Amino acid sequence: MTHHPLLNDAPGVRVVQHPERVTAKLFEPLDQLLLILPERVPQRTWNALPQGARLKAVARKRSKNPGAIFLNRLANKRQTLVVGGSIAATSTAFEQLEFGRKLLAAATNESGRCIGICVAGFSDSDAGTIAKNVLAATLAAAFPMPNYGKAGSKATTRTVRLLGLAERIDTVRVEAEANGNNLARWLTCMPPNMLDARNYADILRTLAKQHGWEYRRYSTKDLRALGAGAFLAVAQGNADDSACIVRLRRRPGKKSARADLSLVGKGIVFDTGGNNLKPFQSMLDMHGDMQGSAVAVGTLLAMTLLELPQAVDCWLAITENRIGPDAYKSRDVVTAANGKTIQTIHTDAEGRMALADTLVLASRDEPGLIVDYATLTGAAIGAITKRYSCVFTNRPEWHPRLKRTGAVSGERVWPFPIGPEFVAELASEVADLKQCTVQATGDHIIAASFLNEFVPSDIPWVHIDLSAGEFDGGLGHVPTKVTGFGIRYTLSLLLDEHLSG
């Protein structure tokens, strides 16, 4: 079993607010102070800050370098480290999140059990927004990632204090999103021998018990009875019979069978590429090919912590994609759970096979909306880089809303088309459709169009190809290579854009 803090009831980071005039006394308990200033700082702002003249002198040395971060120490008992910088009031959510990450990175050589965030010189509204985004970066940086060395990995930050705001701000959503993102990143970073299919299902069972979710594990025997031949084709190369589809159900205050929302995630716990074997460098980090499922679970956790009223199903396709005498092959023909036959072309296009049946099962309960997450195609990275993720939907009129949600949340996406003209490229002489094309041109679009064949047209569906699931050095507010991209985005989709079926 894992040592994940959220499973072991370890104390989290406490957020404390001080909506009062900033005084030297408020600085005294701080190990580090993150000082966020506008690009042009009025003198009255410096005057209002304890040791403001000293901070101004240090900041002015960096004034010729816009966006530069300055370091200084306060003349107090704790010798508080000040990490300061400026940002425009008109900056985007992504820019604010990234700015917060860079502030934290500048102070990483020192542990900060107590960190202060002081946003000074902005309007009350702008200050509150910036404080929330820097808080998101602080909570991401404070979370200890898996470390199985003798020293292990322990959280050092215990308290975050918000200073200088005119009034208290609601941080519950930021904290819930952080918990969901931390869970997703932790699961994704676990070594493959510690997060195999069996252990993953056990962890999900533990989470379900903790949070009041209904848990059901569909074994390969169950899935054969359901006709899930696409998923089983991928699973048949495994050395054991641990592959499964797990369903988690959250029904707040009601027992309705119908879900308002279904979250679907690709959970390939290790991907060799199958018989079409990946080369070494491409296979090295393939324990992270289950990130889509981790994002789905992290989103469910965030919704639970926020006590949102939606009835939610979470469907997770959990298996390895291995090479061996029983592994599926190119030109095999299998039948999916909706009766459609698929001619396999490339065994490393396993994600769309596993998701196809999972989408069929999720659709049978007629949810109001389906959102699926998957590290699905390299073509997505080629199309949009690792800074954005690709998004698709069977409701093309939603494209502006999906794009706007990315801008609001700071987890940026770009919409791409799907449709019959792309499915035509999957025409097969021996089956209803091919798994993929041989040329793999525009494979992110082809893969999404393939998945659309397994979602009834009357159910709204959004597919996120997580090209931003990994980014060297961190992305937005997240400091680790694994980003956990998608949880803030989905919460914004629901709470800011009010998207539903």
Residue 352 among the catalytic residues: yes
Residue 278 among the catalytic residues: yes
* Helix segments in 28-150, DSSP class H: 43-48, 52-61, 93-105, 124-142
Q: How many CA atoms lie within 13 A of 295 on its CB side?
A: 31
Are 157 and 197 within 8 A, CB to CB? no
Cα gap 455→262, rounded to integer Å: 12
Cα gap 289→492, rounded to integer Å: 24
- Return phi, psi of residue 124, to 5°: -60, -45
Question: Which of the following is catalytic: 352, 412, 434, 488?
Answer: 352
* Helix segments in 30-123, DSSP class H: 43-48, 52-61, 93-105
Q: Tell me the residue length of the chain.
A: 501
Question: Which of the following is catalytic: 78, 278, 387, 395?
Answer: 278
Cα gap 46→297, rounded to integer Å: 45
Amino acid letter at 206? Answer: T
Residues 6+ apart with CB under 8 A from 218: 226, 244, 245, 246, 247, 361
> In DSSP terms, which residues pair with 434 in a beta bridge?
343
Q: Order of strands across the sheet with 370-374?
A: 214-218, 244-250, 312-321, 261-271, 370-374, 461-465, 389-393, 413-415
The SS3 of residue 371 is: strand
Cα gap 318→355, rounded to integer Å: 10
Residue 62 burial (C-beta neighbours within 10 Å; 0-12, 13-18, 19+)? middle
Output the six-digit token pair for 487. 């949880």
Output the six-digit token pair for 86. 């400026």
Output the six-digit token pair for 442. 């525009």
Cα gap 204→199, rounded to integer Å: 9
Q: How many CA atoms lie within 13 A of 343 on its CB side?
A: 14
Handedness of CA 460, 412, 349, 269 (dihedral sign): negative
* Helix segments in 216-371, DSSP class H: 220-225, 229-235, 280-283, 291-305, 350-363
* Chain centroid offset of residue 239 CA: 30
User: Hey, which residues are catalytic here?
Assistant: 278, 352
